[in-house]
């Protein structure tokens, strides 16, 4: 929905939608119960690693978009 809602390639507006599993940045319990879901604590080391990877991906997208806009001038 997000990409269709906000993207408009005919006007040069492109979108990227990324979805992450909770296990990317939290410790998921082996057995989910009402008492342990949602997990309260972020796994900081995993979250930091995910942030670094996501930052690299997004910076690459921004650079690519800038390159495309300069080529069209």
pTM of the complete model: 0.66
- CA 57 to CA 62: how far, in whole Å? 9
3-state secondary structure of 42: strand
**Segment 4-10 mean pLDDT:** 89
Name beta bridge partners: 13: 8
Confidence (pLDDT) at 12: 81
Predicted confidence band at 72 (pLDDT cuts at 50, 70, 90)?
low
Radius of gyration of the chain (CA): 18
- Between CA 58 and CA 37 the distance in angstroms is 30
Q: Does the pLDDT of residue 49 top 90, yes or no? A: yes
In the predicted model, is pLDDT for residue 55 greater than 90? yes
Distance CA 72, CA 33 (A): 54
pLDDT at 70 over 70: no
């Amino acid at each position: 929905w997000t990409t269709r809602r906000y993207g408009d390639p005919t006007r040069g507006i492109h979108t990227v939608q990324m979805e992450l599993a909770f296990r990317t940045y939290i410790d998921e319990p082996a057995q989910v119960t009402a008492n342990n879901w949602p997990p309260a604590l972020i796994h900081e080391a995993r979250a930091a690693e995910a942030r670094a990877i996501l930052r690299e991906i997004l910076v690459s997208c921004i650079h690519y978009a800038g390159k495309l806009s300069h080529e069209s001038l």
